[in-house]
Copies of this chain bind each other. A is one copy, B any other.
Amino acid sequence: VAFSTADRVAVRAMVDDLVASLRGHGASAGGGVTRLVYSQAWAAAMAEIEGWLGSAGLEVRVDAAGSRFGRLAGERPQVVMSGSHVDSVVGGGAYDGALGVAMAACAVRWLRETAGRPRLTLEVLANCEEESSRFACNFWGSRAMLGLIRPGECDLLRDADGVTIGEAMSALGLVPDRIAEARRDDVCAYVEPHIEQGPLLERLGLTIGVVDRVVGVRQLRFELRGEAGHAGTIPMAARRDALTGAAELVLAGEALARDLGQPAVATVGALRVEPGGANQVPGRVDLTVDFRHVDERVLAGMEEELRRRAAALAAARGLELSVEPRLGQRAVDLDGRLCALLEASCRRAGVRWQRMPSHAGHDAQLLATRWPSAMLFLPCAGGRSHRPDERADMDDVVRGVEVLALTLHELAYEA
């Protein structure tokens, strides 16, 4: 099996169209996308995806978490699954997640049309949630498939407006109490295509990254409480200003990651000040530090050091401090056999590739704990992601669909 020139033209048109139409659901300023899980924009995107999957001749199904599946039944029930997530960050781009869903749909459609019924069953996955940008829910769709959502969790997780994830599900007709039914025990391989979200492939002039490891990610939420007051009448020496303390913590996180050197990163992306008036000494700040490393021991050391520095600066300023983990994703090795298959497909398709770790978190890292899993990275322009001007080159995307189709062929038809 191989792509013809006509296949490439057809795939290019289809992927381009799918990405463009998904971009319309949750469109925000400057071409950006805000498509939070279980929002109206998300529901509209999922409805559109159901339409494509059906028109590609696949059997469409929704699981109890709201993820969508397009199934091409094979001779055997074991499932080779490929796809990615549909939700986005606030003000994110049109490619993160959505491109992987579109690529998997194109690859499976091409296989059905070219190679017919497979021996193993193929499924396209449109995963409901990956970004944790509405709820701190940590791979909600993948956890549902692995049966890892804890009893009562639907009532505990709340968004910024106080809505529980269970309420958000119910509003779309899903039944939170049935989430355990989303569990899958029939998957034998998972391959996730995704943009790199970093600058490496583009800089090296490569078309494909075969991801063999995903960095560990932790997020700690820090709350600093001092004393609010009037910005004029409280002498500097009498202040317990929560924001000056928070500023020290922001810089401590940056210094820690810089001192460790690559691949350590640390980011304060969310920070909120109360009461927030220009003429009020801040009495309370909460902020989240996101930090990442390929080595779990280094990650644990970073957490310890962040907690130590925060405690020291809070004590020095007379601030009260609370710290709570918001997210924890362990660094994980992906499946060696699948990585080797992806490399073989790159060779057969004649594309330039390399093995690399992922510095972003992905569903594959959680699914890899139960199912053989791997990822296929595509370059993204300037390494820009989680922003409105996120972009992938369509030549690369078509080559990526080809590599993915060859790999799925090997897995599902040559088994």
Contacts and interface: CB of A to CB of B under 8 A. Distances in A.
A117 B153 CA distance: 71
Chain B CB within 10 A, most for which of A263, A273, A280, A387 = A280
A279 to B, nearest CB: 5
A229 B332 CA distance: 23
Chain B CB within 10 A, most for which of A247, A271, A326 = A247
A219 interface: yes
Nearest to A233: B198
A123 interface: no
Chain B CB within 10 A, most for which of A219, A250, A264 = A250
A275 B90 contact: yes
Contact of A241 (B241, B267, B360): B267
A282 B358 CA distance: 21
A131 B384 CA distance: 41
Interface stretch (A19-27, A47-55, A251-259): A251-259
Interface string A353-368: 0000011110000000
A348 interface: no
Nearest to A267: B231
Contact of A267 (B257, B281, B387): B281
Interface residues of A, number: 71
Contact of A251 (B199, B244, B292): B244
A90 to B, nearest CB: 5
B198 A360 contact: no
A276 B273 CA distance: 12
Given A231-B265, A232-B197, A247-B250, A279 B384 contact: no
A246 B269 CA distance: 12
A233 B199 CA distance: 8
Nearest to A270: B278
Given A250-B247, A267-B281, A228 B198 contact: no
Given A244-B254, A270-B276, A270-B277, A360 B133 contact: no
A165 interface: no
Contact of A278 (B237, B246, B273, B290): B290
Contact of A229 (B250, B251, B277, B384): B384
Interface in A259-302: 262-271, 273-283, 288, 290, 292
A360 B277 CA distance: 14
A6 to B, nearest CB: 35
B277 A230 contact: no
Contact of A387 (B219, B229, B269, B361): B229
A387 B274 CA distance: 11
B278 A269 contact: yes
A381 interface: no
15 contacts: A89-B280, A131-B277, A198-B232, A217-B232, A229-B385, A231-B265, A234-B383, A235-B262, A235-B265, A237-B258, A237-B262, A247-B251, A278-B327, A280-B387, A283-B387
